[in-house]
Structure 1
Amino acid sequence: MIKQISSLQNQLIKDLVLLKEKSKVRKKSRRFLIEGKRELELVATSGYSIEKILFEPSLISLETIKQIIDTKELELIEVSNDVYSKIAYRSTTEGVIAVAKSKDLGLNNLKLSPESPLIVVAEAPEKPGNIGALLRTADAANVDAFIIANPRTDMNNPNIIRSSVGCLFTNNVATGTTSEIITFLKERNIRIYCAALKEDSENYTSQNYTFGTAIVVGTEATGLSDQWLNNSDKNIIIPMLGKIDSMNVSVSAGILIYEAKRQRKFI
């Protein structure tokens, strides 16, 4: 039987609104919301565990949902338009929201290629839009792992999922402290290349990225911490030919990643 909910006062709906809006609720419950057809398609093969699917039948049919994901073990809930609008994050949406369990994003859960992995590390990015753009870039280049050092927002933030267009689910993602990540990389003989505006930084095209490589980027405002710069195998720089001395972190990361991919002859 498919459950139906039309009341905004329903306790499940109240709980889901908190899950949408409050990071501490997501962390405590180890649950989060996934909204949209494309996102549902991507999460279906990502290893995340889905518990419930709520749908607004005037926006999406149950048959369409069943074509996207196996619903046999899922709780299906039909909701009214008012209820859906209350729990939806986007103003323009596709009528389906899933409740999923969070994954453990610890470094030890990363599955790396045994030969010359290419890893992207972003230190302390705060804006979900930048994190989402980095995830899209990492997916486009099919890097081996994407790691956030000293995260300032939880990775299940709806804005990250939205801005990444579901690429949170297509990447091999982990989080950790800067110290933990540096140790993790050094233990695996992965070379560390830090993007930095430093006097000793060398042009990014002059380096060899065909070995196990971690490309590390910081925020546009503060750059990378000294801990990264002091532990890098080489600090690298993208030449700025205009009036400003930096660019958006996802753009910088994309340039560096694709140089590494070019050298590996994968593109």
Structure 2
Amino acid sequence: MEEKVNAVMLRAADYGENDKILTLFSLEKGVLTAKIRGVKKAGAKLKFAAEPFCFAEYVLAERQGRRTVAHAALLDGFYELRTDLDKFYAGAAVLEFVRAFCPENLPAEGVFLAAVQALKALSYGDEPPRHVLVRFLLSVLPEAGYAIRTDACAACGRQELSRAFFDFEEGAVYCSYCAPGRATEVSVRTVEALNALAPGGSGAAEEKYVGRALKLLSRYLAVKGGVNLRAIGELFAGE
């Protein structure tokens, strides 16, 4: 039996002398694995299908519950990500998030569309990579079960904050009057950057505070989700 899926290649692991096992993120079936034969040989026709960030229509043959890539038609290779380290690591963080938070064989259409949109924005848009990554994370956190609230104090609803505190256990912002003892004080400008890049936000945020917002989200995923997105750390290497 054969099936077609539109998928982004997340990871490839060597298998035998010339084959690889691919982890794909598909629109139709979510995350799945499939063997691809002969792609380590020079001149292999499907070599592109085992490259990071490859977005393609994969034709999968299934036998006894195991999938093999029979054919692939390239939709976008996002090659521009390889020409800029910040774009590359931002794109890698997108794929890391998917691998960490999207279960196998469970469609996640919203996350898939957001991931492809983020890769396109990184490749062809003018928005800084950190902005794109923060926007992506804020759009997919609710679907992954890790929604955060930053538009107002989670306790009293106050929107205009002179000081802001973020509870990494709850994923919520508090004012100075309501903040629980475990909450960490964060810059009000950082909270404003999160709100600007959230769905429906203005989109206007200063790079300095977008960087802080990204670090906050990274820490939140580590505390709440138990996952350290290593590619985010690479975005701040040397700072």
If the length of structure 2 is used for normalisation, what is the TM-score? 0.31
If the length of structure 1 is used for normalisation, what is the TM-score? 0.29
